[in-house]
Amino acid sequence: MNSKKTPAQTSNLSFSMDDFAKALEAQDYGFKKGEVVRGKVHNYETNGAYVDIGGKSLAYIPGNEISANSSVDWTEAMPLNEEMDFFIIREEDADGQVTVSLRQLEIKKLWDEVAVLQESGKSLQVRVSGVNKGGVTVDFRGLRGFVPRSHLREREKLESLIGQVLTVTILEGDRDRNKLVVSQREASRAESFSQLELGQLVEGKVASIKPFGVFVDLEGITGLLHIKQVSQSMVASLTTVFQIGQIIKAVIINLDEGQGRISLSTRVLENHPGEMLENMSDVMDSADARAERARKKLLQE
């Protein structure tokens, strides 16, 4: 029997032995920047870790791409041999190595959460991380944000806020520009509004006096006591009736959360026209009982 190989058989054998590896290397694994792939951590290194994503080489994840939280324990964020998702941030280099990230996935999820919170108007917790001329920088689980000074409750000595946790609402969330602007003032206002109702008796401090009415500070939000709502009698000058810093009680007669308006009245507390002008102290001292009567009348209207 002739065992001599024909030229074709020799060619086929040569391909299967010599060219198979080259063909494998030439295979396009399709790992593209921006894609999410499944993989397992193969081993940790000093500055990062190697990840098996099924490519011709192990992928690499730099230490600063493991988590948005810089203090996270690597072994907790990505245990060895546990399958999880990775985000491709750099395509194959000359050695066929892909660079991946977990941090980018976290940030994507955080922006998704920001979008939901912004749409619903719900508040979130942030930690103050720094101070600059315009306000304070904050951290939302690894996402950097900013609170303008005008949207802080405490606008002086901003350094004392570093490390504090603030409750805020979102003013602007722009994923493409990586811009997150939040407001502590608006969150406080929304929280305060949620505790108010029509006919409620509130106590506050006179913050300013204008020709048309008195602005009353109600622990972070402002109500307006219009000049026509001070008394059943005509008021010639509000400055002769009230003083800045004076504590007064009044009834809420209108609430408009959308416009941020709270309308107050002391007129409804009077037993007779002009009582607020003649003997305000008596009206204030018995305001609780008087307010119950006023509340019933308001709710009947």
The answer to whether position 4 is within a domain reads: no
Residue 174: CATH number of its domain: 2.40.50.140
Same domain, 204 and 277: yes
Q: Is residue 268 part of a domain?
A: yes
Same domain, 232 and 288: yes
Whether residue 294 is found in the same domain as residue 209: yes
If asked whether residues 77 and 57 sit together in one domain, one would say yes
In a domain, 207, yes or no: yes
Residue at which a domain ends, from 45, 71, 101: 101
pLDDT in tens, 195-240: 889 899 999 999 999 999 999 998 778 999 999 999 999 999 999 9
Domain residues for the domain of 271 are: 196-300
Whole-number pLDDT of residue 22: 55
Q: Is the residue at 48 inside a domain? A: yes
Whether residue 280 sits in one domain with residue 220:
yes
Domain count, the chain: 3
Report the predicted TM-score, pTM, of the whole model to 2 decimal places.
Answer: 0.62
Segment 104-133, tens digit of pLDDT: 999 999 999 999 999 988 899 999 999 998
Distance CA 192, CA 123 (A): 13
- Whether 1 is in a domain gets the answer no
Are residues 164 and 240 part of one domain? no
So what's the pLDDT on residue 10?
47
- Together in a domain, 284 and 219: yes
Domain assignment of residue 263, yes or no: yes
Domain C-terminal end among 136, 163, 189: 189
Q: 242 and 206 share a domain?
A: yes
Tell me the average confidence (pLDDT) per consecutive run of 10 residues in the chain, 301 residues long. Answer: 50 53 53 89 92 90 88 88 92 87 92 92 93 94 93 89 94 94 88 86 95 90 94 95 96 84 94 95 94 83 64
Q: Does residue 254 lie in a domain region?
A: yes
Do the domain assignments include residue 27? no
Specify the pLDDT at position 115.
94
The reported pLDDT for the residue numbered 17 is 52
What's the pLDDT score for residue 19?
Answer: 58
Q: Do 126 and 54 fall within a single domain?
A: no
